[in-house]
Every structure is written in structure tokens, then in C-alpha cells.
Amino acid sequence: MLTLEKLKECGVDTNDGLKRCMNNEAFYLRLVNMALDDGVFDRMRAAVESGDVKEIFEAAHAMKGMLGNLSLTPLVIPASEMTELARGGCEADYSALWDIIRTRREELLRLRDEA
């Protein structure tokens, strides 16, 4: 189960995230859980695997906004980097940034699924 303490240990700015949720901890944690299950992660994986820079940009931009509103900093930083790299249609290897996002998301999912 995710808690504020676990999120803080992973580098999440929970104070900022809570402010955006009117300091309602249960609401904030529910939104974090929903964000971690969002289909944008599957979109990003598929886009990186296919090399579709337009879709990489769109998925990264959506991810950046969603995760940024929750102050999930460990995921926002690489999503932001990916957004800016793809913004101009740059043909690049996005797999390293995707690996960071995937790994950090998996870490949060493991924390969530702990008893």
C-alpha cells in the first residue's frame, strides 16, 4: 500500500502534491494509484518500441502533465526530458529515458503492492 512516507522515500514531493489535492491525503493517494495504472505507460512503451516520435511526444506530454500535477518528480523529470527531445521530432534513441520511467514506475507499483 502506498503511503506518503513511501512516496517521500522515492523522491516524490508529497507536500506539493497534497496542496494540489486540498491536503486530502486519501484523495491524493487515490489519484497517484490511478496515475500509476494509466494507459499512457502502455502508449509510451509501444511508441518507443516502434520509434514513432509523434506518439512518443504525445504520450510523454500527457504523462508529464498527469504526473506533474501529482508531483511524482522521479517520473516527471524523465518524462519532461522525453517531451522536449521529441517536441521537435528528433529521431533519437528514447529507450534510455523510457527505461528510467518504467523502472521508477515499477518501484512505485512494488511499494503499492506490498502488504
Q: What is the pLDDT of residues 22-64, one digit of tens each?
A: 999 999 999 999 999 999 999 999 999 999 999 999 999 999 9
DSSP state of 10: T
How far, rounded to the nearest angstrom, does the alpha carbon of residue 54 sit from its chain's CA centroid?
Answer: 19
Return the C-alpha cell found at 47.
Answer: 511508441
| Mean of the per-residue pLDDT values of the chain | 96
Q: What percentage of the chain carries pLDDT values higher than 90?
A: 95
Give the pLDDT score at 114.
Answer: 87
pTM of the predicted model, to two decimals?
0.92
The residue among 46, 103, 111, 53 whose CA lies nearest residue 78 is 103
- Fold classification of 4-113 is Four Helix Bundle (Hemerythrin (Met), subunit A) (1.20.120)
To 5 degrees, how large is the angle CA 13–CA 65–CA 107? 50
Residue 90 has pLDDT above 90, yes or no: no
- The predicted model gives 105-113 an average pLDDT of 95
